[in-house]
Homo-oligomer: A and B are copies of this chain.
Amino acid sequence: MDNRKERERTWRKQEILAAAEKLFAKRGFFKTSMADISEVSEFPLATIYKFFQGKEDIYYTLINEKADLFMIMQKEAIEKIRTVKSKMKVLAERHLRFFEENRDFFKIYISERNGLAVTIREDLGGYIHKKHEEYIQFVTAILREGIKKGEVREMDPLKMALLMVGSLDTLTYRWIADKVDETLSDNLQFLINVLFGGILISNS
């Protein structure tokens, strides 16, 4: 069957991507050689080139696949939720959970997020940046809705979105990279508290 071949091929690509993900997370793009990927994935070098055009292609395929997955997940997550407050809680929870379950990806993603990673090929690098932008816009839209509904304070929704996503990433970083022993809900609760109510005592 073509189907069988197709699945075989997909599986192999995933194997290669998995090996590459591990390596890129540990050593970064430049310190990871194609030979490394070949060795870890246990596919001959030339075979890898049948699946990917080159090192950059692997790198960006990697990021895009997971970034798309994440985006879709987040969009689905809030579909049936009514209040903006709830939407944000769910988003935040999913965000934390996703990256906790994709630590290697998080390390790669966070380096590229800002589009500063002095990208290798302009066109591709820009694409990653756009993915992040798209996510920011998605959160912005929710906040804008919240403002309309009177749930959210009347402030620049884009900035609030940036702040929310930035905060999530910062907390994720601590949680994951520093291997702090906390539960997801600790972090979630904290973020919600601050984001919703600020850090100051009301009457001060």
Interface residues of A (CB under 8 A from B): 26-31, 85, 107, 110-111, 114-118, 120, 143, 150-153, 155-156, 159-160, 162-167, 169-171, 173-174, 177, 187, 190-191, 193-202, 204
Of B114, B152, B187, which one neighbours A200 at CB under 8 angstroms? B152
Of B28, B31, B120, B153, which one neighbours A199 at CB under 8 angstroms? B153
* Number of this chain's copies in the complex: 4
Q: A116-B111, A117-B28 are in contact. Are A190 and B159 (CB under 8 A)?
A: yes
Residues of B within 8 A of A196 (CB): 198-200
Of B152, B177, B199, which one neighbours A114 at CB under 8 angstroms? B177
Return A80 CB to nearest CB of chain B, in Å.
Answer: 20
Most chain B Cβ neighbours within 10 Å, of A30, A85, A153, A156: A153
Q: A166-B166, A167-B166, A171-B159 are in contact. Are A152 and B199 (CB under 8 A)?
A: yes
Residues of B within 8 A of A143 (CB): 199
A120 to B30, CA, bound (A): 10
Return A120 CB to nearest CB of chain B, in Å.
Answer: 8
State whether A162 touches B150 (Cβ < 8 A): no
State whether B204 touches A151 (Cβ < 8 A): yes
Of B116, B152, B169, B201, which one neighbours A150 at CB under 8 angstroms? B201
Return A158 CB to nearest CB of chain B, in Å.
Answer: 8
* 12 additional A-B residue pairs with CB within 8 Å, beyond A111-B118, A162-B174: A27-B118, A28-B117, A28-B118, A31-B120, A110-B116, A111-B117, A150-B204, A153-B197, A163-B170, A163-B194, A167-B170, A195-B199
